[in-house]
Structure 1
Amino acid sequence: MTEMRDIVCIGSVLWDIIGRTPAPMRFGADMPGRITRLPGGVAMNIAMTLTRFGMRPILLSAVGRDSQGVELLAQAGRLGIDAGHVYRSADLPTDRYMAIECATGLVAALADAHSLEAAGDKILQPLADGRLGSADAPWHGPVALDGNLTTDLLAQIARSPLFARADLRVAPASPGKAERLLPLLAHPRVTFYVNLEEASILCQSQFRSAREAAEGLARRGARRALVTDGGRDAADMSAGGVLTACPPEVLVSRVTGAGDTFMAAHLVAEYAGCPREEALSRALLAAARYVSGDIAT
């Protein structure tokens, strides 16, 4: 087994405000349930999962200097996440995400990640000023990148010498932001983690299965992609072809953060030296345990 290395997680770090009810919901329904507030955002969710597997994630994001931001970064530190390089703004509030989930899955969600978007490339400064790397000595190792960044910033990352030696692991923040990843589609050092809907958006086609979507991404120029489809088969596409695996059947108690858990678990398995089949199976198991509630948030 290879030694686990630090990883940079770039993207949204915010508060998740999640309302859950164990019953199905229809449009306009008013249901009893539970409302929780937890550290969230794609970059934070990935980082939290990575710490459970023994890696030491470094966050690059934007967080306000308000009380919510102070509390959020303190919580990250308690979880073993390095938040010392996060861009802190006195003018921008800490971002938030709000979702409602029911027995059948996600009902609706809103992501207020405007502060991250407004901060722009300021969040990347530690990769340029020598703290984590520079143009002459770029960061060498894995980078988890999420689609909450603007299209312009993602395009800048795609051509930046700061990422010339990075292993880029990329995920959309949501299907609505999948198109932002288009500048990275043919990047030779990118691995995409998408669901079936996100793959369809990136390829501007409708797919019936994860395998079909993975093959579509390959035709669009993607070097590597992993595609999930809820409880149906997931696919891993690389130069070695496409392989598939079925996730374990579990009772779903939550969905927000499942894709981030899958991505983090897969990355850890690969850096631990697991072959493709085992890495995919481990990631599916971790995601299944997460949605069933077996892994605490």
Structure 2
Amino acid sequence: MTQTPDILCIGSVLWDIIGRSPTAMRLGSDVPGRITRLPGGVAMNIAATLARFGLAPAILTAIGRDAEGAELLAACARLGLVTDHAYLSEDLPTDRYMAIEGANGLIAAIADAHSLEAAGDKILRPLADGRLGTAENPWTGLIALDGNLTQSLLADIAASPLFAKADLRVAPASPGKAERLLPLLKHPSATLYVNLEEAGLIAHHPFATAPEAALGLLARGAARVLVTNGGKTCAEGTQGEGVIEDRPPPVLVTRITGAGDTFMAAHIVAERRGENRQNALAAALQAAATYVSGEIGS
């Protein structure tokens, strides 16, 4: 029997291949370290964090019918994710992400999400065929949406009746894909989770601080935004209610990949249990700090 999910996580679910070294690195560095492979992708990271908090998230994504795909689905199921609605492709391989991290932060990363992009709106079929909703009776709960989808599909989602009643939580996959979110900027039920660089790319205007970025995105029509800035002051802005801010607790950073996804998931959970704006922001910052410090498992 298919489990009814608490939230839908739509976007990339793939294998993360991460090389980490405790040494500061530069272009051409060749240093000792550790290389890990674990389930990743923005939608996956958000879903896994939600599951750790006791929710039942469903993933809507594209996964290949290959050995890596079967292994990935099994790993997702072990983490408590609902995988029944994932699109399984006969001819598209399972996607991958590769990153190098040093003591001085993320050195470089490549996201190969071509199968997700090629699958297009096939991943949304459960929202239209009655399994999770229809155009006449759309999904009314939470949806976490990531920017690994194509800009044309994100534009379709912005105007689609399938998403008209959902509580949309939206995150770019990376600064390089931030502008894909432009169609969703003015969606009345969308909350955007971005970092300072991504906020500037979406607004086509650089910002000096997270509170300034939050005000700038609200002025451009966003309903609600959360802007992070590493270890510096972060902000949440809501139309008609202004901007609040908080600073993450200082920690020793041991990893970066997945921190923003953890922040977003923890904020969703805090709001779901009834926390006010200030407390929800603080809870999300604490969860992200705990994650980057390495105090919880990947």
Q: Same fold (TM over 0.5)?
A: yes
- Please provide the CA RMSD for this pair: 0.9
In the alignment, the residues of structure 1 paired with residue 57 and residue 227 of structure 2 have an alpha-carbon distance, to the nearest angstrom, of: 24
In structure 1, the partner of 2:282 is: 281
Unpaired runs of 5+ residues, structure 1, are none
In structure 1, the partner of 2:199 is: 199
CA shift at 1:135, angstroms? Answer: 0.6
Deviations 1:60-113 (A, max 9, x none): 000000100000010100111001110000100000000000011100000000
In the alignment, the residues of structure 1 paired with residue 24 and residue 262 of structure 2 have an alpha-carbon distance, to the nearest angstrom, of: 24
In the alignment, the residues of structure 2 paired with residue 182 and residue 167 of structure 1 have an alpha-carbon distance, to the nearest angstrom, of: 18
Amino acid at match of 2:119: A
In the alignment, the residues of structure 1 paired with residue 187 and residue 136 of structure 2 have an alpha-carbon distance, to the nearest angstrom, of: 20
In structure 2, the partner of 1:296 is: 297
Deviations 1:131-172 (A, max 9, x none): 000011100110000000000000000000001110000000
In the alignment, the residues of structure 1 paired with residue 132 and residue 18 of structure 2 have an alpha-carbon distance, to the nearest angstrom, of: 34
Amino acid at match of 1:131: R
Q: Secondary structure at the match of 2:97?
A: strand
In the alignment, the residues of structure 2 paired with residue 259 and residue 66 of structure 1 have an alpha-carbon distance, to the nearest angstrom, of: 29
In the alignment, the residues of structure 1 paired with residue 151 and residue 140 of structure 2 have an alpha-carbon distance, to the nearest angstrom, of: 24
In structure 1, the partner of 2:97 is: 97
CA shift at 1:295, angstroms? Answer: 1.1
Unpaired runs of 5+ residues, structure 2, are none
In the alignment, the residues of structure 1 paired with residue 108 and residue 19 of structure 2 have an alpha-carbon distance, to the nearest angstrom, of: 10
In structure 1, the partner of 2:271 is: 270
Q: Which has the higher contact order (CA 8 A, sep 6+)?
A: 1
The 5 A counterparts of 1:214-225 are 214-225=214-225
In the alignment, the residues of structure 2 paired with residue 69 and residue 225 of structure 1 have an alpha-carbon distance, to the nearest angstrom, of: 34
Q: Secondary structure at the match of 2:123?
A: helix
In the alignment, the residues of structure 2 paired with residue 238 and residue 73 of structure 1 have an alpha-carbon distance, to the nearest angstrom, of: 37
In the alignment, the residues of structure 2 paired with residue 33 and residue 57 of structure 1 have an alpha-carbon distance, to the nearest angstrom, of: 33
CA shift at 1:31, angstroms? Answer: 0.6
In structure 1, the partner of 2:185 is: 185
In structure 2, the partner of 1:145 is: 145
TM-score, length basis structure 1: 0.98
Deviations 1:178-223 (A, max 9, x none): 0000000111010000000000000011111000100110111101
In the alignment, the residues of structure 1 paired with residue 285 and residue 126 of structure 2 have an alpha-carbon distance, to the nearest angstrom, of: 33
TM-score, length basis structure 2: 0.98
Q: Secondary structure at the match of 2:54?
A: coil
In the alignment, the residues of structure 2 paired with residue 274 and residue 158 of structure 1 have an alpha-carbon distance, to the nearest angstrom, of: 28
In the alignment, the residues of structure 2 paired with residue 238 and residue 218 of structure 1 have an alpha-carbon distance, to the nearest angstrom, of: 7
Q: What percent of counterpart residues are identical?
A: 68
Q: Secondary structure at the match of 2:267?
A: helix
In the alignment, the residues of structure 1 paired with residue 271 and residue 139 of structure 2 have an alpha-carbon distance, to the nearest angstrom, of: 19
In the alignment, the residues of structure 2 paired with residue 251 and residue 219 of structure 1 have an alpha-carbon distance, to the nearest angstrom, of: 35
- Hey, which bits of structure 1, 4+ residues long, moved more than 3 A? none
In the alignment, the residues of structure 2 paired with residue 230 and residue 23 of structure 1 have an alpha-carbon distance, to the nearest angstrom, of: 20
In structure 1, the partner of 2:73 is: 73
CA shift at 1:54, angstroms? Answer: 1.0
In structure 1, the partner of 2:36 is: 36
